[in-house]
Every structure is written in C-alpha cells, then in structure tokens.
C-alpha cells in the first residue's frame, strides 16, 4: 500500500472551497478556553465543508497563535463569526431554520447514534467549555442534547475529539 501525495489528493484551493456547496452544519463554540481546540474545529469544518463556525464568549478568534497552529490554514477557508453571547448566535441560527443541539451529557440526551435527521435538516452543534461544558444559559434554549456514549472511567472526551466524532456521524447521516 502506498500513501497518496498531496497532488494526488486533488484538493480544491481556498477560492474553490468558498464557492462550493456546504453541508448545513454550523459549529457553535461556547466559551472554549484552548485556541488549539478552536483550531481543530476549523480544520474539521474545512474537512467536511461545513457552513460556518460561531466563536462565542471567551473563545479565541483568528489570528491567534494556537488556532493557526492546529487550523493549518482552515481559518482562511471556513466562514466564522464572533458573538459575545452564545444565545444571540443561537437566536440568529434558529431564525434561519437551524435545529439547535448541545453536545453535552444531559438529562434526556439523545445518543449520537440515535440522533434523528430528516432530509433538508439544518443543524447547529454547540460545544462547551472544556471544564464547565455548555453553559446553563445555553442549555435552556437548545432543542435537545446529543451525547456520545462512553464506557471508560473518564467523564468526558477532549472537545476536538468530541467534535470530530459528532461531525462525522452527522455528516454520515446527511449523505442521503
């Protein structure tokens, strides 16, 4: 088996990416402390051609050294917006027809593998602070919570891992 070269991957450039159709998934980062996690979110959003990222509250914004380190250029391709209050971003998304889901361990949460999607759904996925999770204020306005089942001794996954798993599963389900 031979690895493919970058040329063989035949990826689009930033201008081409900006023009291509995006998948109707928006990431909402609710007070993320680590710029490295934010950069990883940008890179994942680029990989799956997601519509946009909202950076909320204390979440770092490009250009930030840690974001740029892990995003490796995805801050140029992925659309993003800053909102001081996460709830303001969610209000805008709801008005645009998005279903609002926190990725959080919560009472009545839906296991990721059971998350229902219908053709034409637009989904906003909220990822919370590395220590406190999705804020209580935000949890009051979501349509529901998605939870990744876990079977080990730790209580959570790193946000970049959680984000990658969740986006992959939602993306996979959207490929009708």
Q: What is the pLDDT of residues 86-102, one digit of tens each?
A: 999 999 999 999 999 99
Domain ranges of the chain: 20-111+118-145+154-174
Whole-angstrom distance, CA of residue 165 vs CA of residue 125: 12
Q: Regarding beta strands 50-56 and 23-30, do their DSSP bridges make them parallel or antiparallel, or are they unpaired?
A: parallel
Average pLDDT of the chain to the nearest whole number: 96
Task: Please name the residues in contact with 174: beta carbons below 8 A apart, sequence gap of 6 or more.
Answer: 23, 24, 25, 117, 121
* Positions in the chain short of pLDDT 50: none
Question: What are the CA-CA distances from residue 21 to residues 24, 42, 90, 147, 159 (Å)?
Answer: 9, 17, 22, 28, 26
List the one residue out of 172, 94, 85, 101 whose CA is nearest residue 143. Answer: 101
Question: Residue 68 in contact with residue 40, Cβ under 8 Å?
Answer: no
Q: State the pLDDT at residue 8.
A: 94
User: Rounded to two decimals, what is the model's pTM?
Assistant: 0.96
Q: Is the dihedral of CA 12, 54, 33, 111 positive or negative?
A: negative
The CATH class for the domain spanning 20-111+118-145+154-174 reads alpha beta
d(CA 3, CA 174): 28
Return d(Cα 49, Cα 26) in angstroms, integer.
10
pLDDT, position 175:
79
* In the block, residue with structure tokens 């645009």: 96
pLDDT tens-digit map of 125-145: 999 999 999 999 999 999 999
Beta bridge partners of 145: 102
């Amino acid at each position: 088996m031979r690895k493919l070269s970058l040329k063989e991957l035949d990826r689009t450039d930033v201008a081409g990416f900006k023009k291509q159709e995006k998948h109707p998934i928006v990431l909402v980062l609710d007070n993320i402390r680590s710029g490295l996690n934010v950069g990883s979110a940008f890179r994942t959003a680029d990989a799956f051609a997601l519509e946009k990222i909202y950076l909320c509250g204390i979440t770092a914004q490009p250009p930030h050294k840690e974001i740029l380190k892990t995003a490796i250029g995805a801050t140029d391709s992925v659309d993003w917006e800053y909102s001081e209050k996460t709830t303001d971003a969610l209000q805008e998304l709801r008005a645009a027809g998005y279903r609002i889901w926190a990725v959080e361990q919560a009472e009545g949460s839906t296991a990721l593998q059971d998350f229902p999607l219908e053709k034409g759904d637009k989904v906003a996925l909220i990822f919370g602070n590395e220590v406190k999770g999705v804020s209580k204020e935000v949890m009051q306005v979501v349509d529901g919570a998605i939870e990744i089942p876990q079977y080990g001794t730790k209580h959570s996954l790193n946000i970049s891992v959680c984000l990658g798993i969740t986006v992959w599963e939602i993306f996979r389900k959207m490929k009708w």
